[in-house]
Structure 1
Amino acid sequence: MASTDITLPKLRAWWSHRQWLDGGHHGATPVEVLAATGWARSVGGAAPYLGLYARAGLDRAAVDAAVAAVAVHELPAARGCTYVLPAADYALGLAAGAAAPEGELASAEKHLGVTRDEVEKLCLAVTHVTSATSPMDPAAIREAVGPAARSLGEAGKKRGVSTTLPLALGLLQARGTLRRVPVNGRLDQQRYGYVSWDQPVKGSAAELAERYFSWAAPASVKHFRWFSGFTAATAKAALAPLDLLTLPGTDLLLPTQLADEFAEFTPPSHAHYTLLAGIDGLHLLHRDLPRLLDPADAALPTPGAKSGRAFGTEADPQTHVIADRGRIVGLWEYDTEAAEIVHRLFVPQNDLLRAAITRTETFIREHLGDARGFSLDSPKSRAPKIAAFRQA
């Protein structure tokens, strides 16, 4: 490396730059954004839309068209969690998440008296009733498979698995033989149908590691283990084939081919504000919130939290965030009643920041209608946070 001048502002600005949050990629497609910056975490909220809008100015119609064309899709991927992936990564994403439904089945076998044989028979029944063109919702599938799916009673309800059908659907999705389709084509609403699919599932731990460090580096082994869900031994084996160097004085790893670019990188002198979901990749690829916060901001109370806990002690932001060159400089939520963004800023408001807020507010109002953080988020549930913002 040409320089060892590694400061936190430089790291933040570099992460922001690699995440395409510096304003230079308007007009890119959803596929291009996700391939370059990483899979977008999706939990039935607005995060994928907000992230693609912030990086490339993409409106909801463009994103939904890519979903309809299966150019990008929401799949169970790393750790079995749902992400929006580009088509080139479907096989790898499914391979990365394959262990999760197997774990759910093992738990059901142990605690609910379920057998693998009955779930495999149910899987076969589901494949017989689903087609590649006409999505079926879970209720229709259960009716069609009849006694092949059974209730798991009160014990199942307590564990969040009321019937055996979700176990089969999870396995079939992980195997690439079933695809979950949003019934209205939107990524921010959790109503789905299922269609049959023929998607290969393949990819190594090293391949996932290579992808991850292309999106998130510099990152530590701990960061990578969080994203992948790998054990220490699996992570070590995954990293062994990669050409990584350790940044001096840190535990952060960087692909050698990026070393010169990183050394020569200079943080922009002018602010560039973006409004992101709290689970945006800028944070969630590392899940190390303090690295994006100045100490004084980290000590502020979490908006609307009854315990009065400090924002910087959270594993994840409990609200949406405003970023500038990799630093979180504010928090925000969308007030559906007033059709406006409410916020708490850590920096003085200026024309650039005001314009960024107005642009995102207009985008939400005209294209999304709301900016839910996750599937169970609602105007009522976020009211305490909005009230805290307005009182600040």
Structure 2
Amino acid sequence: MSAPAVDADLDPARLRSWWAHRQGLDGSLAGAAPAQVLARTGWARSVGGAAPYLGLFARAGSSRAEVDAAVAAEEIHELPSARGCTYVLPAGDFALGLAVGAGAPAGELAAARKHLDVTDAEIETLNAAVLAALETAAAPLDPAALKDAVGEAVRSLGEAGRKRGVSTTLPLALGLLQSAGEIRRVPVNGRLDQQRYGYVRWTPPAAAFAEADVELARRYFAWAAPASLAHFRWFSGFTAARARAALAPLGLLPVAGADLLIPAELADPFADHRRPVEPCYTLLAGIDGVHLLHRELARLVDTADADRPVPGAKAGRVFGSDADPQCHVIVDRGRIVGFWEFDPEAGELVHSLFVPQDAALGAALARTEAFVRDDLGDARGFSLDSPKSRAPKLAALRTAMQEG
């Protein structure tokens, strides 16, 4: 017998408002610790940019010092997890993140065996050498220092390896040891938005779950519901069969009139939710969880905004055609209502708004501008982002400000 469907108003504005509420973008998490925010709203994607800082600031008002202190105390940490991608996780999810991300380095080793003649024996020897070096190190060792420390245990993979993006066997060993929780990567200067790392020995918290796939699904639908099987597959990287098996024990309820599922305990709150009358503006990274948990940008885009030009892109490229925002975004009750970027040379935030700027929006812009300028120094979207590379976007947004 199939589960009864949840009957709820599927108006897009109400749905967006609900997702924003579940993501803590309505002020409900103000003052919460970084680990609490991540446990409630989901893991924060990290690609060497400012996204984790921006997300925690928008939800809880966390300063960079508070976030960095939580990293130093191992209350939160950047780990390879879902799909083998790096996310910032709360301590309670360290073991789970490692478990669901373990397939990626194993797959990289399998490819190296096949194409680069790498053997299990040499990787085992290298693993042991890396662990021995870190056991006696007085400080974190970066890859260059580790390569020196392990000596002949690491091997060049030559031109064939360079073509495949693996110049030596060391990255293979580091990936396997990270996924096993034997070592962890720590930012050299304690910051999440600058990709300079060292490695240390580690013993992560013991796992408190019986089935990693099911636990990932349970957390995902707490963060992102209502969501579809396809949404969960995107986030997890699971095959359709594996994803269905992970969802089976959860007793998720279908949402009437939509290809969406929701946990039973959220069904009534979801049906009863009403979109707030007053706007609630937040400035977020383009890869914030409000978008990336589902990675279906159209959910957050009002029909009237779909044909807006993408700042700095080739003529004819429009917002509604992209899979991901190409700029940081301004969100109001779940709807994307503008783009923004930061110009560190001018020390100012530049933007393009889809709605008139009222006092609340002006305050949100000023608050985030001060946070980025004074706490972060810049708001890079990813590790290779720079004021030079984003110059076309900055120019387009500055023009939009002048015309607006």
1:180 maps to 185
- Per-residue CA distance 1:136-164 (angstroms, 9 max, x = gap): 11111100100110111222222221111
- Per-residue CA distance 1:181-220 (angstroms, 9 max, x = gap): 0010000000000001122467521110000000000000
1:274 equivalenced with 2:282 (yes/no): yes
Secondary structure at the aligned position of 2:329 is classed as: strand
Alignment of 1:178-217 (within 5 A): 178-199=183-204, 200=206, 203-217=211-225
Aligned equivalents of 1:39, 1:188: Cα separation in 2: 16
Aligned equivalents of 2:280, 2:375: Cα separation in 1: 23
One-letter code aligned to 1:183: V
Aligned equivalents of 1:280, 1:80: Cα separation in 2: 18
1:128 maps to 132
Aligned equivalents of 1:4, 1:281: Cα separation in 2: 23
**Residues 353 and 137 of structure 1: is their aligned pair in 2 closer, same or farther, counting only changes over 3 Å?**
same
Aligned equivalents of 1:189, 1:349: Cα separation in 2: 33
Aligned equivalents of 2:319, 2:25: Cα separation in 1: 23
Aligned equivalents of 2:138, 2:178: Cα separation in 1: 16
- Per-residue CA distance 1:230-259 (angstroms, 9 max, x = gap): 000000100000121111110010101111
One-letter code aligned to 1:83: Y
1:45 equivalenced with 2:53 (yes/no): no
2:9 maps to 5
Aligned equivalents of 1:158, 1:308: Cα separation in 2: 34
Q: Gapped runs of 5+ residues in structure 2?
A: none
Aligned positions, number: 392
Aligned equivalents of 1:118, 1:308: Cα separation in 2: 52
1:82 maps to 86
The share of aligned pairs that are identical, in percent, is 68
- Decide which of 358, 361, 370 is 1:350's aligned counterpart: 358
Quick check: 2:44–2:88 contact (8 Å CA) kept in 1? yes
2:175 maps to 170
Displacement after TM superposition at 1:34 (Å): 0.4
Secondary structure at the aligned position of 2:342 is classed as: strand
Aligned equivalents of 1:232, 1:66: Cα separation in 2: 36
One-letter code aligned to 2:182: T
1:94 maps to 98
Quick check: 2:18–2:270 contact (8 Å CA) kept in 1? yes
Quick check: 1:133–1:195 contact (8 Å CA) kept in 2? no
Quick check: 2:331–2:337 contact (8 Å CA) kept in 1? yes
One-letter code aligned to 2:297: L
Quick check: 2:6–2:253 contact (8 Å CA) kept in 1? no
Displacement after TM superposition at 1:296 (Å): 2.3
Following TM superposition, where does structure 1 have runs of at least 4 consecutive aligned residues deviating by more than 4 angstroms?
A: 200-203
- Decide which of 390, 394, 398 is 1:386's aligned counterpart: 394
One-letter code aligned to 2:278: H
One-letter code aligned to 1:262: F
2:292 maps to 284
- Decide which of 304, 309, 315 is 2:317's aligned counterpart: 309
Which segment is superposed worse, 285-294 or 106-115? Answer: 106-115
Displacement after TM superposition at 1:2 (Å): 8.1
One-letter code aligned to 2:384: L
TM-score with structure 2 setting the length: 0.95
- Per-residue CA distance 1:41-100 (angstroms, 9 max, x = gap): 000000000000000000000000000000100000000000000000000000010000
1:119 maps to 123
One-letter code aligned to 2:175: G
Q: Gapped runs of 5+ residues in structure 1?
A: none
1:228 equivalenced with 2:247 (yes/no): no
Aligned equivalents of 2:345, 2:28: Cα separation in 1: 34
Aligned equivalents of 1:376, 1:133: Cα separation in 2: 30
Quick check: 2:7–2:255 contact (8 Å CA) kept in 1? no
- Decide which of 323, 342, 345 is 2:331's aligned counterpart: 323
Aligned equivalents of 2:19, 2:255: Cα separation in 1: 14
Aligned equivalents of 1:89, 1:235: Cα separation in 2: 19
Aligned equivalents of 1:173, 1:184: Cα separation in 2: 20
Secondary structure at the aligned position of 2:250 is classed as: coil
- Decide which of 145, 153, 156 is 1:151's aligned counterpart: 156
Secondary structure at the aligned position of 1:241 is classed as: helix
Quick check: 2:6–2:254 contact (8 Å CA) kept in 1? no
Aligned equivalents of 1:24, 1:198: Cα separation in 2: 34
Displacement after TM superposition at 1:302 (Å): 1.4
Aligned equivalents of 1:2, 1:36: Cα separation in 2: 23
Quick check: 2:7–2:256 contact (8 Å CA) kept in 1? no
Displacement after TM superposition at 1:116 (Å): 2.0
1:300 equivalenced with 2:308 (yes/no): yes
TM-score with structure 1 setting the length: 0.98
- Aligned-residue Cα RMSD (Å) equals 1.3
Quick check: 1:322–1:329 contact (8 Å CA) kept in 2? yes
Quick check: 2:187–2:198 contact (8 Å CA) kept in 1? yes
1:61 equivalenced with 2:69 (yes/no): no
Displacement after TM superposition at 1:280 (Å): 0.2
One-letter code aligned to 2:180: R
- Per-residue CA distance 1:337-385 (angstroms, 9 max, x = gap): 1111111111111111111000000000110000000000000000011
